[in-house]
Amino acid sequence: MVTWKMKCSACCLLAYRSDRNETRKLNCSERMMWKYSPDSDPALRIYPVNLGDEGNYSCEIVSSAGNFLLFSSLAVIVPPAVTLTCDKSGVVVCQASAGKPAADISWIPASNHSTEEEVRHPNGTVTRVSYIGWVNSTLPTVTCLVTHPATNQTLSLDLS
């Protein structure tokens, strides 16, 4: 017998009993299923994964060889949407929206005069915005470098 459980009250339970070739699914989304056939490979598949799936999972296997309990933690990473704009007053804005974890923003050429804001959203994602003044610069191009575990992006803006 194989049982997958998500660690919370009234959460998903996915079970397979080999002696009866029986599967059971309680409180599971249609996105949660066996990766292959539970009799040959009892791996859990969640597709597509979303932020609500994040958490701790346990897998219990009961067989003639004994009882085995495995724990697994799922962390969901969300790449941010990245934009680079310049307003009328010469302030360049680089924004990394709704990423998880928060993205890091840096500038090329490097600047000690940038300011940054961060907004934490209820769903666990974070928006970071970095501002840099470009009014008196002799350089024609500014580049924003966004670093994140899911993606690294470089955006350049020609200000000449």
Helix, strand, coil shares of the chain, percent, nearest 5, are 0, 55, 40
CATH 2.60.40.10 placement within the chain: 2-74, 81-158
Q: Which of 70, 68, 62, 67 is nearest to 7 (CA)?
A: 70
Q: Are 131 and 92 contacting, i.e. CB atoms less than 8 angstroms apart?
A: yes
Read off the pLDDT of each residue in 10-37 and give the average, rounded to a whole number.
87
Average pLDDT for 65-82: 93
In the CATH scheme, what is the homologous superfamily, with its name and number, of domain 81-158? Answer: Immunoglobulins (2.60.40.10)
Superfamily per CATH, domain 2-74: Immunoglobulins (2.60.40.10)
Model confidence at 9: pLDDT above 70:
no
| Buried/exposed 112-133: b ≥16 CB within 10 Å, e otherwise | eebeeeeeeeeeebbbbbbbbe
Which pLDDT value is given to residue 140?
83
Q: Residue 109: what pLDDT?
A: 85
Rounded-to-integer distance, Cα 127 and Cα 2, Å: 40
Q: Regarding predicted confidence, which is higher, 123 or 10?
A: 123
Q: What is the pLDDT of residues 79-117, one digit of tens each?
A: 999 999 998 888 999 999 999 999 999 998 887 788 999
Residue 91 contacts residue 103 (beta carbons within 8 Å): no
Rounded to whole angstroms, the Cα distance separating 126 from 101 reads 7
